[in-house]
């Protein structure tokens, strides 16, 4: 099967998941073509069966804002025709699903066709899509897709609540984790060796407001008062300065380490004792899943799709959004009780592998592709013969 994948290539769950899916599909014998404006951050320079097609956005004085969505549609059209792609799998509704629809309409004008599958990841539905400026085009693009998936039951329900999407079926296919990569036994715990016996608390994100990074720092401050610890912050984004300010206000700057953007986080997670994710809303929580698979209990909020990933009281601690004290107390209770921490860690790794293992989830996508292609009638040319 020849598959085109479009995603945002920058740091974030949707881009990471789309890239990992493409790599896994190539390993299973499919031909995968990434079509986007930059090479995805988790894509190595070369892999057998994987190709990258850069979208070149022309810049003209007439355009105050370069039309990436149109340039993307043209590039999709070119790649489908030149490489004979069977389907386009786009991640994040806007503008990717819109561009895929335009590309398909252009192809149909020339007697060709392509199947379009859209995977919804979160803020494309909960924030961007519900903005008045984008609501109608988001709804249209979803409805024009041949198949739609969402990464959690929560996001599926949110999609129907926000858009209705008459006649649409939204299939839940969760994000996945590769247990061969996220396995703490594979790595030397370098961070822990460098922290002089202190417990390692970690947060990984793109530091957007929804991640509530000030709460991350406040939760850690509560933990650190009772359990000697350090906080390792991985990633970067607009709220990093907020986290740094909060650390200065609380007098814990020396206990915090900002590592910036790191492509491979599995070796870091192997050194962690606790993972903090107190987000306002997570449509799934990929970073939490990667932590769990690494045997790291998660402290977060019982909102969005995170309760589908973290088993409260078994693999992590979930509390109300903004309840910093309760989350800190949950973390303290785990770190103080080694037997309880070990039980949480063992179950977290096993549960992540059993419910979200890569092989099983990729099979679900392959099944979806086969069903979508099988259900599609051949395009009929003007003379009556199949095109």
Distance CA 179, CA 161 (A): 34
130-171 per-position pLDDT tens digit: 667 788 888 899 999 999 999 999 999 988 888 876 667 899
Two domains, one topology: 2-176+358-375 and 184-356: yes
CA-nearest of 288, 256, 254, 284 to 269 is 288
Mean pLDDT computed over every residue of the chain: 90
Q: Which of 213 and 163 is assigned the larger pLDDT?
A: 213
Q: Per residue in 249-264, pLDDT tens?
A: 999 999 999 999 888 8
Rounded to an integer, the average pLDDT of 290-298 is 97
Structure tokens at 201: 């608390």
Q: Which residue ranges make up each domain of the chain? A: 2-176+358-375, 184-356
Q: In what order do the strands lie in the sheet with 31-36?
A: 50-54, 31-36, 2-6, 87-91, 115-120, 147-150, 170-172
pLDDT score at 54: 94
CATH architecture of the domain covering 184-356? 3-Layer(aba) Sandwich (3.40)
Question: What tens digit of pLDDT does each residue of 320-335 get?
Answer: 999 999 999 999 999 9
2-176+358-375: which CATH topology?
Rossmann fold (3.40.50)
d(CA 294, CA 301): 20
349-383 pLDDT, tens per residue?
Answer: 999 999 999 999 999 999 999 999 987 654 443 44
pTM of the model: 0.89
Q: What is the pLDDT of residues 32-75, one digit of tens each?
A: 999 999 888 888 878 999 999 999 887 766 666 778 899 999 99
C-alpha 89/C-alpha 95 separation (Å) is 13
pLDDT higher than threshold 90 for residue 232: yes
């Amino acid at each position: 099967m020849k598959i085109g994948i479009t995603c945002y290539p920058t740091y974030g769950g949707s881009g990471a998941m789309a890239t990992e899916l493409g790599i896994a599909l190539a390993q299973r014998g499919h031909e995968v073509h990434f079509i986007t404006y930059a090479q995805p951050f988790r894509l190595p320079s070369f892999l057998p069966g994987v190709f990258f097609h850069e979208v070149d956005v022309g810049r003209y004085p007439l355009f105050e804002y370069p039309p990436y969505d149109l340039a993307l549609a043209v590039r999709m059209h070119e790649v489908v025709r030149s490489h004979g792609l069977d389907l386009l799998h786009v991640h994040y509704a806007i503008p990717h699903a819109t561009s895929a629809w335009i590309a398909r309409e252009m192809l149909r004008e020339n007697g060709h066709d392509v199947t379009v599958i859209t995977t919804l990841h979160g803020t494309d539905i909960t924030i961007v899509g519900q903005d008045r400026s984008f609501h109608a085009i988001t709804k249209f693009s979803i409805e024009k897709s041949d198949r739609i998936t969402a990464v959690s039951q929560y996001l599926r329900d949110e999609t129907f609540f926000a858009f209705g999407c008459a006649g649409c079926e939204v299939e839940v296919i969760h994000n996945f984790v590769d247990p061969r990569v996220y396995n703490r036994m594979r790595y030397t715990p370098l961070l822990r060796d460098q922290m002089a016996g202190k417990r390692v608390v970690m947060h990984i994100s793109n530091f957007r407001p929804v991640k509530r990074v000030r709460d991350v720092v406040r939760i850690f401050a509560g933990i650190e008062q009772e359990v000697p610890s350090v906080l390792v912050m991985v990633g970067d984004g607009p709220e990093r300065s907020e986290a740094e300010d909060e650390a200065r206000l609380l007098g814990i700057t020396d206990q915090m380490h900002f590592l910036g953007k790191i492509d491979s986080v599995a070796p870091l997670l192997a050194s962690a004792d606790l993972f903090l994710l107190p987000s306002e809303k997570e449509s799934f929580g990929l970073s939490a899943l990667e932590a769990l698979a690494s045997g790291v209990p998660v402290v977060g909020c019982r909102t969005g799709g995170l309760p589908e990933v973290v088993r409260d009281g078994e693999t992590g601690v979930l509390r109300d959004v903004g309840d910093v004290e309760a989350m800190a107390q949950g973390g303290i209770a785990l770190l103080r009780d080694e037997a309880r921490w070990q039980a949480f860690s063992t179950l977290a790794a096993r549960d992540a592998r059993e419910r979200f293992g890569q092989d099983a989830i990729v099979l679900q996508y392959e099944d979806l592709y086969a069903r979508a292609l099988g259900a599609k009638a051949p395009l009929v040319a003007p003379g009556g013969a199949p095109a």
